[in-house]
Amino acid sequence: MPWTGRGGVTLSPQAAAVGTGVRVIDPDAVLVRQHLGGDPKAFEALFRKYQTPIFNLVTRMVRGEDAYDLTQDVFLKAYRSLKTFRGDSKFSTWLFTIARHTCLNHLRHKNVITEDSLEESQEEHPGNEPIDANMDVARLCETRELQRIVDKVLVTLPAEARLLLILRDFEQLSYEEICQVTELSLVNVKSKIHRARQAFKKRFQPYLAILEGGNVR
Amino acid sequence: MSGGMGNSTTQCAPVREALSDYVEGSLPSPRQQLIERHIKECSDCAHEERQMRMLMHLLHHQVPRREPALDIWAEMAPKIAAIDQEEKLAFGGRLKLKAGRFLGSVAAGAIVFTQVLAANTEARMSKYVKNDPFTANEGSRVA
């Protein structure tokens, strides 16, 4: 097993692969081993650690009440197949891959997946939707308001662009991790993320103008 | 069109394409410097860069994660216990359990199907049913 070092010390796949001699213990892999060894609390610890990132991804992908059921589905699928987790990738990457499949299958099943390209969806949402006349920097910077507006813009993007933006800009996964989750090449991932950001920026333009005026940074 | 350089439209396109990588600092150093120089001279690209930087800062640091308001674990724990229970059974036991669940679903489906079929048949056949002569005028006689 690639993630088990000498004397049962568990290594992160990166440390093992790079072979720098520096042993970095991957706490998730330790928990997986403990779970497989029969510790009933180990999986709950993994769940507590990842429930927010997974819920965040799921709720921004599907929106609505289904997010709770789908989050459960992701963890139940992970629970069932934890025995097959080989540790070739990080546990978090493996979990995000399950979440990606679950969300896309759900959207396909509900017939709400948007297979159209960014260009086609750009025609439908050119970014000039009217914004609230009372909107100003102070109101826009309120957490809930910002969250609402960002999600409103995000939902106008095709599913794949939305997923890539969430993984990179919200969850801040590395490009390599995103390649593993999406099964795309690095060049493809970088180019798609760039185009997704451009599309998001275009639709978010009225709010950016407000923020620019008030200098959000 | 560039605000700073009249002939820079051809230079602007590749700069715009690489802008988010530039903001992230993930470009090779010579390319990073090339874009930096261009941005200093081109006001349009500088504006684009400023906005992209602002957007990425916003998404990375200012938009909080959506957190679950309900306790998902509380709802999930019994399902996990059921999975554990199922996995503890021997192969024969699991087969029996799955066969039982399958037969249960088939039986429930068959009941629903026969009910729908009966209702449908009754609706289609009702026009052929003759009125009972003994009870046909019962209502009017009582009245």
Do B83 and B123 reside in the same domain of the chain?
yes
pLDDT at A104 over 90: yes
Do B80 and B55 reside in the same domain of the chain?
no
Do B42 and B80 reside in the same domain of the chain?
no
Predicted pLDDT of residue A20:
53
State the helix-helix crossing angle for A42-62 and B72-88, rounded to 10 degrees. Answer: 120
Question: Do B62 and B23 form a contact (C-beta atoms < 8 A)?
Answer: no
Q: Which fold has domain A1-113?
A: Rna Polymerase Sigma Factor; Chain: A (1.10.1740)
Report which DSSP code applies to A87. S
Q: Which fold has domain A117-217?
A: Arc Repressor Mutant, subunit A (1.10.10)
Predicted pLDDT of residue A197:
94
Do B76 and B124 reside in the same domain of the chain?
yes
Q: Residue B109 falls within a domain, yes or no?
A: yes
User: Amino acid letter at A41?
Assistant: K
CB < 8 Å & 24+ apart, contacts of A80-88: A80/B83, A82/A32, A82/A35, A82/A36, A82/A43, A83/A36, A85/A32, A86/A1, A86/A2, A86/A3, A87/A1, A87/A2, A87/A3, A87/A4, A87/A13, A87/A29, A87/A32, A88/A2, A88/A13
- The separation between the first and the last C-alpha atoms of chain A, rounded to the nearest angstrom, is 47
Q: Where are the alpha helices (DSSP H) in A63-185?
A: 66-81, 91-109, 118-124, 137-140, 143-154, 159-165, 175-182
Cα–Cα distance, A204 to A196 (Å, whole number): 12
| d(CA A150, nearest CA chain B) in Å | 8
| Structural domain boundaries, residue B102 | 72-128
Dihedral, B104, A110, B73, A181 alpha carbons, nearest 10: 120
Q: Which residues contact B131 (CB under 8 A, 6 or more apart)?
A: none
pLDDT at B140 over 80: no
Neighbours of A188 (CB within 10 A): 12
Locate the chain A residue with the closest alpha carbon to B17: A194
A206 at interface of B, judged by CB pairs closer than 8 A = no
Q: Residue B67 falls within a domain, yes or no?
A: no
Q: pLDDT, tens digit, for every residue of B50-106?
A: 999 999 999 998 888 888 888 999 999 999 998 888 877 767 777 887 888 899 999
Question: Do A122 and A69 form a contact (C-beta atoms < 8 A)?
Answer: no
Q: pLDDT, tens digit, for every residue of A3-42?
A: 443 333 344 444 444 445 555 677 898 999 999 998 889 9
Predicted pLDDT of residue A23:
59
Q: Residue B2 falls within a domain, yes or no?
A: no
Predicted pLDDT of residue A214:
62
Question: Do A155 and A54 form a contact (C-beta atoms < 8 A)?
Answer: no
Q: Is the dihedral of CA B91, B92, B93, B96 positive or negative?
A: positive
Which of A79, A141, A204 lies closest to B55 in CB terms?
A204
Q: Where are the domains of chain A?
A: 1-113, 117-217
B13 at interface of A, judged by CB pairs closer than 8 A = no
Q: Which residues contact A48 (CB under 8 A, 6 or more apart)?
A: B73
Which chain A residues contact residue B80 at CB under 8 A? 43, 76, 79
Cα–Cα distance, A30 to B88 (Å, whole number): 23
Do B76 and B106 reside in the same domain of the chain?
yes
| Contact yes or no for B51 and A52 at CB 8 A | no
Report angle CA A208, A211, A212 to the nearest 5 degrees: 85
Q: Residue B3 falls within a domain, yes or no?
A: no
Which of A79, A141, A212 lies closest to B54 in CB terms?
A212
The tally of domains found in chain B comes to 2
Q: What CA–CA distances, in Å, run from A56 to A78, B32, B67?
A: 17, 33, 6
A141 at interface of B, judged by CB pairs closer than 8 A = yes
